[in-house]
Amino acid sequence: MENLLLLHGALGAATMLEPLKQALAESYNVYTLNFAGHGGNALLEQGYSIELFAQNVVDFMRDRQLEQVHIFGYSMGGYVGLYLAQQYPGLIKSVFTLATKFAWSEETAAKEVKMLNPDKIKEKVPQFAAMLAQHHAPQLWEQVMHKTAAMMQQLGKQPVLTPDILAQLQLPVQVAVGDQDTMVSLEETIAAYRNLPNGRLLVLPATKHPLETIAVSRLAQEINLFLAHTPASIPA
């Protein structure tokens, strides 16, 4: 069977992808991992970065002797997947992104960072705070959030995926977004799609940004449809 790696988003953890992993397990060898400083992994002194998370994937693949994988990446996980495809084209066979933000600038980063206030989250959405605490224990989710905010500010200053880089990617890529996503616009997703030489676009109706708002069966079906039309192999 083909290897499929599921990558979680910012503030996320591998456990959030477990239902999708189970739904796809009969069709693929499905893997998940926690990025550095997520899902209970030790918080490193160094800051978070797309480059660091990409190296986490490379190390994960080498440890398990995975020569090539397809990637499904939710939100930031999709950004990491595309960066991997650019840096290590022989490792990645295809990338399916969902709710991935492509339009990074200092202005958009500031807007995202403004929402990453642990004190306000505890006050206004305590259920979300409790979920983050559960996913990242024994580490403090507040520290995970602060490091994520710093990474977003850096992305705003220097995005690692530019239109020129997207235009270099020859592998099959499907970019998906919900039509009610308030964090990732349809416009920026379409712009990314148009820059991809072998890109496909999927707009999910009545769908918001949070992964848990999307039916697992629907998402698994879309992944199956996408992978059914990808090449059987790529040059190593």
How far apart are the C-alpha atoms of 86 and 171, rounded to whole Å? 10
The model's pTM: 0.94
136 within 8 A of 38, measured Cβ to Cβ: yes
* 148-199 per-position pLDDT tens digit: 999 999 999 999 999 999 999 999 999 999 999 999 999 999 999 999 999 9
How far apart are the C-alpha atoms of 94 and 204, rounded to whole Å? 20
How far apart are the C-alpha atoms of 49 and 54, rounded to whole Å? 9
Confidence band of 46 (pLDDT split at 50, 70, 90): confident
For the chain, the residue count is: 236
At 230 the pLDDT is 82
Strands 3-7 and 29-32: parallel
Q: What percent of the chain has pLDDT over 90?
A: 90
Position 100: which residue type? T
At 232 the pLDDT is 60
How far apart are the C-alpha atoms of 109 and 155, rounded to whole Å? 7
3-102+160-227 maps to which CATH number?
Answer: 3.40.50.1820
